[in-house]
A = this chain, B = another copy of it.
């Protein structure tokens, strides 16, 4: 079992960041955000990589909770998981809104 070395929020935020840490996965999220239809085939067409690789990236995003898939045989419809999308958004928002130390003269440069 994976023991936690860091606090849960840190782990969670890093998990979301990792999931978004590849251009293909960013592209997928952007595509899903603006599409009403979001079949696997449409996503694949949009990307310059093989089907198997697209499937892998979709799995990674699903694993991270950022998207979800629904079988509509013989197709599969994907879409953003709004609940986690919002949670991730919040974690990042908190992260970026950290106040930076203002003692510049004591820090670099």
B21 touches A21 (CB 8 A): yes
Which residues of chain B are within 8 angstroms of A98 by Cβ–Cβ distance? 30, 33-34
Q: Do B93 and A96 touch across chains, with their CB atoms under 8 A apart?
A: yes
Q: How many monomers of this protein are in the complex?
A: 2
Docked CA distance A80–B17 (Å): 18
Residues A107 and B79 in contact, CB atoms below 8 Å apart: yes
Please state if B20 and A101 are interface contacts (CB–CB under 8 Å): no
Q: Does A56 interact with chain B (Cβ within 8 Å)?
A: no
> Judging by beta carbons under 8 Å apart, are B30 and A21 in contact?
no
Question: Which residues from 13 to 51 on chain A have a C-beta closer than 8 Å to any C-beta of chain B?
Answer: 13-15, 17-27, 29-30, 33-38, 48-49
A89 CB–B CB distance under 8 Å: yes
